[in-house]
Amino acid sequence: MELAYYSDYAVRLVNTEEPARNKDSLTSVDAVRELFGGSRQAARRVTDGDVTRFRSVRARLRAVFAAADTGDETQAVDLLNSLLLEFPVSPQISGHDTRDEDGRPDWHMHLADHPSNATAGYAAIAAMGLAFHLTEHGVDRLGLCEAPPCRNAYLDTSTNRSRRYCSDRCATRANVAAYRARKRLEAERSENTGRTAESAQETSANTER
């Protein structure tokens, strides 16, 4: 498993909440367990206390994305470093009993956590994954969706650093809204131009009289 994969842990956790819509799907043990995906062993460690702890880590991770989104690189790094210090991991070489085409172990880097609870394990992996993404691709690759009221977190993997939305759905919605806004502006300008022309004609007519 590539280390960059772990950055998705941060995105998944942050996006369990939509502050502008006052929505929060992180309300139960089952909801927390779903965040672990295929890591069933880690998910089994989740208890009721992890729901509150996960929300706390979520707020701190969102703060990292928010700082990056506003261009405050130092703040984003400082916030992420505080998470890395609090939730450490141990990089290890792993094969997971898989073999390549030559029958050899498929060696790769793996983040081994030694958590006191499920939150510590998840936070360690999410923070480390995000740190690898940030240092490899740049702080400006972390963002929050520009389609209001969404503000979901995303990782920009585009070749030209052009991503602005968390999904195609939000991008389409934003483009439609922008198109409608342009049409309204054009209509208002046309109406104002017409009124100006009518006013000029009336003034000219009054002068001739």
Give Cα 155 to chain centroid, integer Å.
6
Q: Tokens 């996006």 map to which residue?
A: 15
- Tokens for 89, please give them: 């991991």
pLDDT in tens, 108-148: 777 766 667 899 999 999 999 999 999 999 999 999 999 98
Strand 142-144 to 108-112 pairing: unpaired
pLDDT in tens, 172-196: 988 886 667 777 776 667 766 656 6
Q: Tokens 């131009």 map to which residue?
A: 193
pLDDT at 209: 57
Question: Where does 19-156 have alpha helices with state H?
Answer: 29-34, 40-43, 48-69, 73-86, 118-137
pTM: 0.78
pLDDT at 1: 45
- Residue 105 is classified by DSSP as B
83-91 long-range contacts (CB < 8 A, ≥24 apart) are 83/57, 83/123, 83/127, 84/127, 84/128, 84/131, 86/123, 87/113, 87/115, 87/120, 87/123, 87/124, 87/127, 88/124, 89/113, 89/124, 89/125, 89/128, 90/114, 91/3
